[in-house]
Amino acid sequence: MEDVCSLLNFMPEQKNPLTKKIAWNGISLMMPEAWEIDTLDAAHMLIGKEGTPEAEIKWTDAPGQFTLEKYLKDFISRAQKLLTIKIREQPTPHFFLYPDNNFKFFFFSWESVLSKGTGTLIFCPQCKRLTMIRFFSESKISRDCLQALMLNSFKDHPEAEKINWQVFGFNFSTPLSLKLLEYSFNPGCYIINFKQEKTIITIFNWGPAAFLLSKISLAEFAKQRLPRLKGLAKVESLPHGNYLEWAYHHGRFKNAELLPFMKKFFTVFRIHHNKPLNRLFGIMADSPDKFERDLINRINIGN
């Protein structure tokens, strides 16, 4: 069998094969353009190329008190059961013994009934997160092979106190305080929900915009998708174009905000038509308390 890894080797003067970045819930790495996310969970993703699995990533945050040995053992045991694979330890390639990013790498080979491959456990001494990346390729990991490049591009720390989200055409950053609540990726409408104390932030991504706005205006589209929007929208500007903004108070039920003793909720919704990407990006903040408007300013959607 041909050594896939050697086929994928590239010389320094050649173009880097990793052109696509994926970032999800705290982790990020580079991968080839043709690779796509096949399944996605809060702490798991399966990446494939034209329907064939290429890599699987699973990660977990450390328990309160732990020893690395026990932590690794527990994680391996759980992964073996969950993924129905057998994991065997392999020596760490010398070029991964002292990586620049201070990660600790533990290499392994895995085998299931239908396939086998190689993989790595990555322990981050700073955030104590443990990540397993397994490749559906049996080739040994050499210095410049695709797998090694992917591992070298791996990050599990937020940059500049922000978490980057880069999947399915989304590309935005959230403050560290926002936690992922739920998400749905249906064709034409992607939604991700975050929570910060009592504030719910929802990010929308609709497309293709040219089709969605072929018969109606942006404001009409927003009111059609979110009928609860109240009042008129005002036009604000972003470096890459204008956006519409609705800001209003509302109650738990119809007209409840008019009652003086009822708690009021405050909603801000922004929608932006990104013409180059042919998408409509929306962001909604819903809070019972008066929250910092700056919070949604800090989430750059549609960049």
Binding site for other proteins (CB under 8 A): 36-38, 50-52, 168-169, 185, 187-188, 207-208, 210-211, 214, 277-279
- Of 63 and 188, the one with the shorter C-beta distance to other proteins is 188
Cα–Cα dist 222/242, whole Å: 15
Residue 185: CB minimum distance to other proteins, A? 8
- Structure tokens belonging to residue 227: 């009928």
Residue 128: CB minimum distance to other proteins, A? 32
- Of 218 and 285, the one with the shorter C-beta distance to other proteins is 218
Strand-strand pairing, 241-250 and 179-186: unpaired
Q: Which residues are CB-contacts of 68 (< 8 A; sequence separation ≥ 6)? A: 104, 123
- Of 52 and 67, the one with the shorter C-beta distance to other proteins is 52
- Of 118 and 274, the one with the shorter C-beta distance to other proteins is 274
Q: For residue 285, list its beta bridge partners.
A: 201, 268
- Of 172 and 265, the one with the shorter C-beta distance to other proteins is 172
Burial 262-278 (b: 16+ CB within 10 A, else e): eebbbbbbbbbbbeebe
- Of 168 and 248, the one with the shorter C-beta distance to other proteins is 168
Which helix H or strand E contains 221, and what residues bound it? helix 218-225
Burial class (CB in 10 A: 0-12, 13-18, 19+), 205: buried
Whether 90 and 117 have beta carbons less than 8 Å apart is answered as no
Residue 28: CB minimum distance to other proteins, A? 18
Q: Which residues are CB-contacts of 10 (< 8 A; sequence separation ≥ 6)? A: 16, 17, 144
Residue 270: CB minimum distance to other proteins, A? 22
Residue 34: CB minimum distance to other proteins, A? 9
Residue 57: CB minimum distance to other proteins, A? 17
